[in-house]
Amino acid sequence: MKITKFPLSVSVACVLAVLSHAQYVEASDLLTNCVQVTTTDGVDSDSSPDNKADFQAILDAVNATPPTNEDDESCVKVLIPYDYGDAPDDSASDAVEPDYPTLLGSAGARHQLGTDVYLGQCVDADLGDTAIDASSDDDTASAPLWGVCADPATDEDGVVFETLRVGVQGIKVTVTANKACQLNAWIDWEGDGSWTGATEHIFEDEQLVEGENELTLSVPTLAVPGDTYARFRCSTEGGDEITGEAEDGEVEDYKVAIEPAVDTIPLRVGDYIWVDEDKDGLQDVGEAGLPGAQVELLNADGSRARNLSGLLMPPQAISDDGLYRFTDLSEGEYILKVIPPDGYIPTTGGFDVDDNDSNEDSNCQVTEDGIRTLPFQLTENGEPGGGIDGDDSNGNMTVDCGFYQPEIQKHSIGNQVWVDGNDNGLKDVGEPSVSSTVQLELRDVDGNILNKTDSNNGFYLFSNLEAGDYTVCLTASNFGAGAVLEGYTASVGGDETNPNLDVDSNDNGSNDPAQGLCSGLIALGGDEPLNEAPTVNSSAGNDGVGTPDSHSNLTVDFAVVAPPEPVVPVSVGNLAWNDIDEDGIQGDSEVGLAGVQVMLLKPDGSVVMDLGGSEVVPQVTNGAGQYRFDNLSDGDYIVRAVPPAGYILTTGGADADIVVDDKDSNVTEKVHGPETEPFTLVAGGEPLVAVDGDDANGNMTVDLGFYQPKETALTLGDYVWVDADVDGFQDPEEKPLVGVTVSLTDTDGNAVTDIYGGSVTSQLTNSGGLYRFDDLPGGEYVVHMSAPANYYLTTGGLDVDDDDNNTDSNCIADDDGLIRTHAVTLSEGSEPADSIDGDDHNGNMTVDCGFYNTVSVGNYIWEDLNANGIQDADEAGLSGITVSLTGADGISPVYDVNGELVEPVVTNAAGGYEFGDLEPGEYSVVVTPADEEGYKLSVGGADPDSNASDSDSNCVVMDGVYQTPVFKLPTGDEAHNKTVDCGLYRPVGVGSRAWIDLDADGRQDPGEPGLPNSTVTLLNPDGTFAVDLKGNVVQPQLTGSNGEYFFGDLNNGDYVIKVTPPTGYLPTIDNGDPDNDDGTDSNGVRFTGDSVLSDPVSLTWGGEPADDGDGDASTNLTVDFGFTPIASTQIPTASGWALGLMSFLLSVVAFWRRRRDS
């Protein structure tokens, strides 16, 4: 509570209390409130107005005779008792004890008294004005007093400590409370007069019960041995701090002694929190950590453990690896507490860590305080060895806890929808499921739709259900117009209205499709029927989604009755044809065969009756060879045929039910003559119109092939290929030539016909380069070839009749330049054997022709700005560069396929070049830039044959000539090489000399020597190191014996030259801009430290002086630097007389510079 003081106004008529601004009382003291007596009209009752005495005078007069000068004042005093601490607080004293915030003047801790909340047996009031050694204010009992003090001299009786020793944990502290309150306490471990250290707030809002409370604390390793002070505060509300007021309770300060530490070894505990998939309480291979779990280390009493420094051990979050580890612990008894993620519970186990050092078991169990281990002891050198837990004997890495997610059992309802052929409500053998997709609904007891699903081959399932009551309905929408079950009705032959009887394969649906066919109420629980069959996956009792059989009811079936189907007539027929080539296949030029007698019979040879009851009579094929039998019922049939005289059956006999082909022959020779295999006709099941030109109720593919025997058919043909090496022979790596036109004539060039009288037309070689002429009569033939564009006949031309080699080229060019073979003779039984050409003795498959195509080479000459031999995005081609093609020797001229000399070319605007119409062979490309263009060759020289890169440089310098290595141009896919490139670059350079300017005039005079061993550095204008064309940092140089230096291979641009002379030299007079092309002046203009720098010099290819000694307009050799020696410097090659002259000149220079600086 807060005690306030406020003014009162008292009138004659009444007394009115008016609350004014609250003022907190600041000490245990007497609070005096005074009021002034007035008349009812508010006038001072004293005869002398406004003569109220000084307020302090009134306070001084309390308990005394009121002041004579104020007869209208009335004062009352109230005692406000407080309890204060008594730790030392005297900053003005020279005492060695530290000072703590104790006294009233230090805003010390204080508690209002007047309730029965206090520590120990009693509490008395303090004045808050004395604090020396934590006992001074309690030397004598103060009034008022609450409780009965065992020692009348002190009320500091609420806390008893065991010995406090540095580094020891679990030290018992007994705190006695008269009433339940919240304790906050501090110990100054460091003895520095402050309780604000990180470990010094030892108890924070610790709830105490009435009576003794056994607590524990830990002394951190940072504690300083010796005497120090503790503060204990307890109040009902809690939240007390080191200073400040509390509305009730007590503060007790103690002087305590801290004993020195006994050497201790830090201990550890930890290991693994994991998901125990098989719930066996053991860590198995593959069982992973449990991320999201949290672990806490507690003392055996359940309080949070501290480390050797006295810091609370923070909880740890478990990551994917499942590991945790608490370190820097003292000996003692601990508990591991684990908080798993939601949905996880502890596995079996709970083994005592101290009794079982297994590193694979689970040590956690469920207690009323949560999931935790039994208390376990950590002892120095007493923990499991490294062979058990991978740690030494001062750590226990076997404290593991396993968890798993318990399964929540779900339920399911399902089974099938079938067509009840006999309408008996039972699924009989052979009755099919409704294969089309139908919709079913799951409803609750009130008819509300919970879910919908579609059937799969007649089966349905509602899964993941809670136990309860449900209804399943085959929805009315299935029976609507255009729906799957349009025209179907409900089976009414044997409905089972109670689906809980668990009878399978019977109808559980109602009978009104317009309302949907619904089951009765299904009570779904844990005692559902077992081993139901059939199921969707053909496994008895298995609903396919893992529901236990006892939780799944797969007996809720629905039967429907199909509408009656109309009888649809079927038909059969097609074509009897003259199979001229006797291959059993109707060729495009083969026509129907009239006059064939065709009979339709039952498979046993008996007659067939049509749907009208009439006998189906035999037919004779018409002029187009067609026949057709109509108005037939579904069933099995055969077709029997009698061909005209002189015709015999062709090859074939394919089963019309198995091979649905409108071009084959379906008859074979049987006992009664040509006859088909039995075939089945089914309405709606026959070939579609796209196959036989008829609908699905007729089979118009039953064909009959016959032919008249002829002379033996002969064959001629083989292979056209790309002869890459132009040697006239087929090599393994050489490829076929596709699309070559091949024609066949007699020796006079006339067209020929086959044995059937048909024209032998020209062909194109296929993807394998093959051609073939079949059905030829015996005789002499010539094969003609039309070469594709840019292809030329290879060497060869051997006569096929004289040479049956199957790898040579047999073509020649006649006098008109046309490509053909010699005459080839074909005769029955006389052609090459199968071992030679893969064909029998009636075919010659050795007539081959080889061609080669022209080749070309070319690509790109470019300006390689960074001289790295690689075409970069910003590097353009060079136009006007002369490029020549030579033979393999790099010298001899080259001729194209037309015998024309291949002349040099110049690159186009993009830097491109090309040489075409070349013979396959070996070549070299020569690149000749004009001398005045100043181009140099980039690095490179990659062989175009072994390096197919299209961005590198293939040129090298050979005898001063820029040319490529020798490369091959083969015919075929690699006939055109567009990767032969060469990179050129134009560098600039700068240089000259550093010299000793003997007369210090800034000009190089005859006889003035060079300055060797000066360090010359090339910089960018911003002071960074310059880089060359290739991107390399340009390294500093030392000037030569004559002071010369040079930097080459540079990009166009601006540069600064820095010169650091040997010790003892200063720069001479600056006489010029480095771009003035004056080779006698000194260009050092800035002297920094021990170095001199030029102004930026601009280098441009072709823009530099050609008269600077090298005749090269790409280099500037005029950037010079003059230096003068200091007096003590030995000038190279100078005489004594010259030294004297130099001293004089230096004096002049020094005088001049001082004048200039002034």
Say yes or no: 454 and 509 in one domain.
yes
Q: Report residue 975's pLDDT band, with 50, 70 and 90 as the boundaries.
A: confident
* 937 and 996 share one domain: no
What does the alpha-carbon distance between residue 553 and residue 551 come to, in Å, rounded to a whole number?
7
What single letter denotes the amino acid at residue 886?
T
Confidence of residue 173 (pLDDT cuts 50, 70, 90): very high
Q: How confident is the model at residue 95 (pLDDT cuts 50, 70, 90)?
A: low
At 752, phi and psi to the nearest 5?
Answer: -120, 160
Q: What is the mean pLDDT of residues 315-331?
A: 94
pLDDT in tens, 791-819: 888 888 888 888 888 899 999 988 888 99
- pLDDT tens digits, 464-476: 999 999 999 999 9
Annotate 529-546 with DSSP letters as a single string: -SS-SS-TTS-TT--SS-
* Mean pLDDT, range 147-164, rounded to an integer: 87
**pLDDT band with cut points at 50, 70 and 90 for residue 632:** very high
Higher pLDDT residue, 97 or 445? 445
For residue 516, name the pLDDT band (cuts at 50, 70, 90): very high
CB 787 within 8 A of CB 851: yes
When pLDDT is averaged across residues 30-36 and rounded to a whole number, the result is 55
The model's confidence at residue 119, banded by pLDDT at 50, 70 and 90, is: very high
Which residue, of 687, 707, 727, is where some domain finishes?
707
Looking at the structure, tell me whether residues 426 and 557 fall in a common domain: yes
- On whether residue 1150 sits in a domain, the answer given is no
Q: Provide the CB-side half-sphere exposure for 549 (13 A, CA).
A: 11
Based on the fold, state whether residues 290 and 238 are members of the same structural domain: no
Q: Is residue 1149 part of a domain?
A: no
* Mean of pLDDT values over 1108-1117: 88
1136 vs 765 pLDDT, higher one: 765
State residue 693's pLDDT score. Answer: 87
Domain harbouring 503, CATH code = 2.60.40.10
Condensed to tens digits (0 to 9), the pLDDT of residues 578-606 reads 998 889 999 998 999 999 999 999 999 99
d(C-alpha 198, C-alpha 245), whole Å: 23
Of the residues 832, 853, 874, the one at which a domain ends: 853
CA 334 distance to own-chain centroid: 43
**What is the residue type of 147?**
G
CA 398, CA 387: separation in Å to the nearest integer?
12
CA 921 vs CA 57, 820, 971: distances in Å: 131, 26, 9
Question: Which residue matches tokens 């050129």?
Answer: 984
User: What is the tally of structural domains in the chain?
Assistant: 8
Nearest to 1099 by CA among 1032, 1020, 1043: 1020
One domain, residues 146 and 157: yes
- The per-residue pLDDT for range 40-74, each reduced to its tens digit, is 455 555 555 545 444 444 445 434 444 444 445 55
Q: What is the pLDDT of residue 936?
A: 87
Examine the pLDDT at 96 and tell me if it is beyond 70: no
Q: Indicate if the alpha-carbon torsion angle 417, 422, 427, 433 is positive or negative.
A: negative
Q: Name the amino acid, one letter, at 672.
A: H
Q: What is the pLDDT of residue 44?
A: 52
205-240 confidence digits (pLDDT tens) = 999 999 999 999 989 988 999 999 999 999 999 999
Which of 561, 592, 618 is the endpoint of a domain? 561
DSSP 56: H
Looking at the chain, the whole-number percentage of residues with pLDDT higher than 70 is: 88
Task: Give 598's strand partners.
Answer: 619, 641
Give pLDDT, residue 876: 93
pLDDT (0 to 100) of residue 292:
95
Q: Can you give the residue range of the structural domain that contains 802?
A: 714-853
d(CA 145, CA 121): 11
Residue 277 and residue 392 in one domain: yes
Quick: pLDDT tens for 1028-1040: 887 899 999 999 9
Q: If you average pLDDT over residues 717-739, what whole number do you get? A: 90
Asked if residue 621 belongs to a domain, the reply is yes
> In angstroms, how far is the first alpha carbon of the chain from the final one?
86
Position with higher pLDDT, 881 vs 99: 881
Q: Specify the pLDDT at position 97.
A: 63
Q: What percent of the chain has pLDDT over 90?
A: 60
Q: Does one domain contain both 387 and 442?
A: no
In a domain, 1154, yes or no: no
Asked whether residue 1069 is assigned to any structural domain, the reply reads: yes
- Same-domain status, 440 and 454: yes
Amino acid at 371: I
Q: In degrees rounded to 5, what are phi and psi of residue 1144?
A: -60, -45
With the C-alpha atoms ordered 364, 367, 371, 376, is the resulting torsion angle positive or negative? Answer: negative
pLDDT of residue 61: 43
Helix (H) or strand (E) holding 79: strand 73-80
Task: State whether 843 and 828 are in the same domain.
Answer: yes
Residue that is written with structure tokens 């110049």 in the block: 906
The answer to whether residues 236 and 342 belong to one domain is no
pLDDT at 13: 29
Which of 348-362, 841-855, 1141-1155 has the least mean pLDDT? 1141-1155
Please tell me the predicted confidence (pLDDT) of residue 951.
Answer: 86
Mean pLDDT of the chain: 86
The answer to whether residue 930 is domain-embedded is yes
89 — pLDDT class (breaks 50, 70, 90):
confident
Question: Average pLDDT of 658-666?
Answer: 87
Q: Which of the listed ranges 147-156, 176-185, 1063-1072 does the model predict with the highest average pLDDT? A: 176-185
357 within 8 A of 384, measured Cβ to Cβ: yes
Tell me, yes or no, whether 1116 lies in a domain: yes
Q: Are residues 122 and 239 in the same domain?
A: yes
User: Where do the DSSP E strands lie in 306-404?
Assistant: 316-317, 323-329, 332-339, 345-346, 365-367, 370-372, 376-378, 395-396, 401-404
The verdict on residue 189 lying in a domain is yes
Asked whether the predicted pLDDT for residue 282 surpasses 90, the reply is yes
**Claim to verify: residue 832 and residue 802 sit in the same structural domain:** yes
CA distance 439 to 38: 97
pLDDT band for 33, please (50, 70, 90 cuts): low
